[in-house]
Amino acid sequence: MSRRSVPLWGILRGCSKQEGPHKLTMTDSTPSRLIIDQFDPEDLLPSGIDTLIADVLRHDADGSAVAGVTQDRNRVGSWSTASIDSVRFDFFGLADTDRRRASRVRVPHSLLVICGIARFRHRLRQFQYVHAHRIETGAFVSVALRGSKLIQFVHNDSTGLIGANSDSFWKHLPWLYRILERRALRAAHAVVLFNRGDAARMQKIRPDVHVAQTWYDSAVFDTRPASPASDTLRVCWVGRFEAQKDPLLALQTVAALARAGHSVELHMAGAGSLEASLAQQARDLKAPVAFHGSLARKEVAALMRSSDVLLMTSHYEGSPLVLVEANASGIPVVATSASDPDQSLDDKTNGIRVSSRDPRELASALAMSHRFAAADCRASVQHRSSASAVPALLRIVEEGSQ
């Protein structure tokens, strides 16, 4: 039986095999912060959490260590050095898995991470702070790594996460998610919530929840260069091909715009379980669409700079990175209201929020997107550059400095 087809009981049995302490091989300047997540520094996914962690590593002047997943079995259970864009950091492999082949894994990646913490917790030296980016991970860290201060990050609208349109396994166990959520929030030194809409509910559990917004990397996302005017509206869509993001609605919207007589192209960057059905739907709808696959961050930036507008069709979001990255690239955003929980869009400056999920109404908004100036779009998010936002957030949540 291959490693990636191990059933649930095999994973749980492996968790019970605790490893004793041994001499750690870490850099001379050991950081005070450990980031724990299903994060693979050698295979970054174009997801919000991966991007956020990578930005913390880039902009953290004190340095951070990471405990995550790897495709190299030799890195499991030991410290080594990893790097992202020339930034080097200590890395501990908690589990061996390929996140891009999730359909072949019988257990959630977060459970693999939790089992790795349980198995190797004596090798995870005591850090002053531990950052957890999933509720289940934070709840377990609060028990397994009691000597460290837990910083719990919450990225998604929990109602959506456990709802019918979620692609998370938590939609099958919503009651357990709520139990773990209360545990993690109450045990944490600080809680960072990237979802303004869920703030009131969570502040009943933890009154000092810090509500934050995501950011953009100004070294990657910048205003597109001037290009010759074209009669064809270039629409880009970036995300996972999963139910939460509703990529089918994007196809339906652009098809509706084309039927109304507009010259339009849809460029979709992403991958996921709905990929095959989307391709069939595109043929059935005769939608003018190009599929670009899963793109690296710099490739997403290039796609945005060559586009006229970003379309977002999500059923729920936290504080979406792709929205602020599009505005930073100088293009407006047309989004369902659930795609913009921060209420960042202003129909006078940077985009249109559409309350309906009717493709015709979204298509009508796309047809009006030409009225937004690139300078206004960029100005609307200039205060959200990662170079200033990341250090400020770390100061606030770890040291309590305003």
Question: Tens of pLDDT along 193-218?
Answer: 998 888 999 999 999 999 999 999 98
- Model pLDDT, residue 59: 87
**DSSP single-letter state for residue 34:** E
Query: Phi and psi dihedrals of 77, rounded to 5?
Result: 85, 10
Output helix, strand, coil percentages for the chain, rounded to the nearest 5.
Answer: 40, 20, 40
pLDDT tens track for 6-45: 444 444 445 655 554 444 444 445 678 999 999 999 998 8
Closest CA to 156 of 317, 36, 46: 317
Lowest mean pLDDT among 154-168, 347-361, 375-389: 154-168
pTM given for the model: 0.82
Task: Let me know: does 109 contact 83? Beta carbons within 8 Å.
Answer: no
CB 202 within 8 A of CB 155: no
113 C-beta neighbours (distance < 10 Å), count: 26
pLDDT tens digits, 309-365: 999 999 989 899 999 999 999 999 999 999 999 899 999 999 999 999 999 999 999
Query: Which strands form 309-312's sheet, in the order they lie side by side?
Result: 289-293, 264-269, 233-238, 309-312, 333-336, 351-354
pLDDT tens track for 69-81: 999 999 999 999 9
Considering only CA atoms, give the Rg of the chain.
Answer: 21
The whole-chain average pLDDT of the chain stands at 87
Q: How many angstroms separate the CA atoms of 373 and 378, rounded?
A: 9
What per-residue confidence (pLDDT) applies to 19? 55
CB 63 within 8 A of CB 31: yes
